[in-house]
């Protein structure tokens, strides 16, 4: 199974639990594009499927129509499924827009669309989601589902219907809300002097902490918590290939929380000017 790297950390584990071997294809910053030749070579291994997280966690990348069309063409050539993970479908920042792989010409017969109500309706704890695919594929998925979860609580399913019946204006408002949150948080990041990769979708941002001089991103994450009181996830947990450049932050927080975190992050320029002030003993 082909997995783009960086990736949502469950993909590799899920592949292994399913008896599959992950085949990693790197996404290259700053825009996290894949190399077409590398992807074509990965398909030569005759994978059963490729997983596409769109928009992506942790990068915020939004795959273009051309990219998805190329992925689909390779999947058709090698008779592979395309498994898409699309919980951030409505959190996409202009001028980008979300393209549903399953809606592309000829895609539906080999596409499994995995989605969630968690992000769109802010009900992450309910663990409600769905898979959308052709009838013959769903028939097989239903067999597995029956042995894994049986079903979600009926009361939560009934409550979720209220969200599914919301008008189009809700989704426009959701995009505007997260655009505002993103702009607030990224403004603070710019003022820190640390490079970062502006997300095209979702609500994550990868911040390059190389200039701070930590040996690993785990040490950096611990220092951020202890010294600044701001928590980020070590970027290496999302990458197959070695590297300690990034921390992943998310901005799905109230405005006052984002501003409080931003003010704390503004202490970073002092450390960039005086790197010896970083007290590694505090995190060992």
44 and 173 both lie in a single domain: no
134 and 23 both lie in a single domain: yes
14 and 76 both lie in a single domain: yes
228: confidence class by pLDDT, cuts 50, 70, 90: very high
pLDDT of res. 224: 97
195: nearest Cα among 207, 205, 183, 203: 207
Helix axes of 36-43 and 65-77: crossing angle, nearest 10 degrees = 30
194 and 218 both lie in a single domain: yes
Vertex 98, ends 92 and 104: CA angle to 5°? 175
pLDDT of res. 78: 98
126 and 9 both lie in a single domain: yes
pLDDT of res. 113: 98
Kind plus residue range of the DSSP H or E element containing 159: helix 154-164
Instruction: In whole angstroms, give the CA distance from residue 219 to residue 221.
Output: 5
Average pLDDT on 127-145 reads: 93
Number of compact structural domains in the chain: 2
150 and 174 both lie in a single domain: no
Average pLDDT on 108-133 reads: 95
Q: Scanning the structure block, which residue is given the tokens 């007290």? A: 279
91 and 135 both lie in a single domain: yes
43: confidence class by pLDDT, cuts 50, 70, 90: very high
113: nearest Cα among 156, 83, 140, 141: 83
**Which CATH number fits the domain that encloses residue 268?**
3.90.1150.10
60: nearest Cα among 95, 92, 25, 100: 92
145: confidence class by pLDDT, cuts 50, 70, 90: confident
- Contact yes or no for 251/93 (Cβ under 8 A): no
Please identify, among 116, 146, 164, the residue that sits at the C-terminal boundary of a domain: 164
pLDDT of res. 41: 98
* 160-197 confidence digits (pLDDT tens): 999 999 999 999 999 999 999 999 999 999 999 999 99
Instruction: In whole angstroms, give the CA distance from residue 195 to residue 210.
Output: 9
Instruction: In whole angstroms, give the CA distance from residue 179 to residue 196.
Output: 17
Average pLDDT on 120-130 reads: 93
Those residues with Cβ within 8 angstroms of residue 8's Cβ, 6 or more apart along the chain or in another chain: 53, 57, 58, 85, 238
Residue 281 has pLDDT above 60, yes or no: no
218 and 148 both lie in a single domain: no
Helix axes of 255-265 and 168-192: crossing angle, nearest 10 degrees = 10
Average pLDDT on 204-208 reads: 97
82 and 198 both lie in a single domain: no
pLDDT of res. 83: 97
pLDDT of res. 147: 85
Structural domain boundaries enclosing 137: 2-164
Average pLDDT on 252-270 reads: 96
138 and 264 both lie in a single domain: no
Instruction: Count Cα neighbours of 106 within 13 Å in the Cβ-side half-sphere.
Output: 11
pLDDT of res. 275: 60
Cβ atoms within 10 Å, residue 54: 25
**Which CATH number fits the domain that encloses residue 118?**
3.40.640.10
Please identify, among 164, 180, 205, the residue that sits at the C-terminal boundary of a domain: 164
pLDDT of res. 276: 58
229 and 178 both lie in a single domain: yes
Please identify, among 117, 133, 164, the residue that sits at the C-terminal boundary of a domain: 164
Q: What percent of the chain has pLDDT over 70?
A: 96
């Amino acid at each position: 199974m082909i997995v783009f790297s960086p990736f949502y950390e469950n993909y590799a584990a899920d592949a292994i639990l399913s008896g599959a071997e992950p085949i990693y294809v790197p996404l290259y910053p700053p825009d996290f594009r894949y190399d077409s030749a590398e992807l074509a070579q990965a398909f030569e291994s005759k994978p059963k499927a490729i997983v596409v997280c769109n928009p992506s966690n942790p990068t915020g990348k939004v795959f273009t129509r051309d990219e998805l069309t190329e992925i689909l063409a390779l999947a058709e050539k090698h008779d592979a499924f395309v498994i898409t993970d699309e919980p951030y479908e409505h959190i996409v920042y202009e001028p980008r827009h979300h393209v549903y792989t399953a809606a592309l010409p000829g895609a539906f017969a080999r596409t499994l669309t995995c989605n969630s109500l968690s992000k769109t309706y802010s009900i992450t704890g309910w663990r409600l989601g769905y898979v959308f695919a052709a009838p013959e594929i769903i028939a097989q998925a239903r067999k597995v589902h029956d042995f894994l979860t049986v079903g979600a609580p009926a009361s939560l399913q009934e409550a979720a219907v209220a969200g599914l019946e919301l008008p189009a204006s809700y989704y426009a408002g959701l995009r505007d809300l997260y655009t505002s949150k993103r702009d607030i948080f990224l403004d603070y990041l710019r003022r820190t002097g640390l490079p970062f990769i502006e997300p095209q979708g979702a609500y994550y941002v990868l911040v390059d902490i190389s200039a701070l001089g930590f040996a690993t991103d785990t040490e950096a994450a611990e220092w951020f918590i202890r010294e600044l009181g701001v928590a980020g996830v070590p970027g290496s947990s999302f990458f197959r290939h070695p590297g300690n450049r990034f921390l992943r932050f998310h901005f799905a927080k109230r405005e006052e929380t984002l501003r409080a975190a931003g003010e704390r992050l503004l202490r970073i320029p002092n450390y960039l000017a005086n790197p010896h002030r970083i007290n590694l003993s505090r995190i060992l």
